[in-house]
Amino acid sequence: MPGARLEVEVLKSAIKQMLKALDYIHTECKLVHTDIKADNIMQELNDTAVLEKFVQDELEKPSPRKIIGDRVVYPSRLFDPPQQFGRALLCDFGSAVQGEEERNHNAQPEIYRSPEVMLMVDWSYPADIWNLGVMVNLVTFEGDLLFTGQHPTLGRYITRAHLAEIIGLLGPPPQDLVQRGVRGPEFFDEDGKWKVDDVEIHQRTLEESECYLEGKEKAKFLKFIRSMLQWRPEDRKTALALLEDPWLNS
């Protein structure tokens, strides 16, 4: 797709289908997916014309290739932007867990990790909502990372660096959430203040992070994202409630 982002209407359709999937697995199956990322969302392609053109292009101008041992290796050839998409399907339940059981173990892809998972607060279904909110904003739509968790000197993902990025975007976490976390004292003092010396807090806003939409559309979209990106898991909307969101249905 142009600009490596989905068009707004395609995005809304995909989000609705993801929320329907989450509502089903949360309420009917009592499962937390824990691994929502682009790799685990399959997008059905209804526009077969792009497949036919792909084949024709390959026949007219074959892709370069090289032989390594007994294998033939080809570079990727891109499809043209399709005119019609089908269903978006949530797949790969290999990391799913029972949602009714209390747990605080590590989970989720690093950059999608929810605050309760990082702080080792007991977590469940709302972790998926955070995961989807981050993915929608930074991969599906903007094509850029909202959080990286990259430590400024170590050059790799570190939980405290990720928490600092969230604080910079959402402000400090509620004291009660920190107190519920096994790892809370590792990052915050008794007054709830950030006590990590090697990672600074850099303030920014969601408005600055979103540069594709404008006006009322942008305001509605950011309100939708904020309803998912809440520090407290209990403050996030459920998948069913999110399906009624004004931006999603505009």
- Which residues are annotated as catalytic? 35
> What is the SS3 assignment for 250?
coil
Q: Are strands 66-68 and 71-73 parallel, antiparallel or unpaired?
A: antiparallel
Dist CA 128 CA 27 (whole Å): 13
Structure tokens at 216: 């009322």
Dist CA 140 CA 39 (whole Å): 11
CA atoms within 13 A on the CB side of 69: 1
Dist CA 12 CA 26 (whole Å): 21
- Cβ proximity of 216 and 250 under 8 Å: no
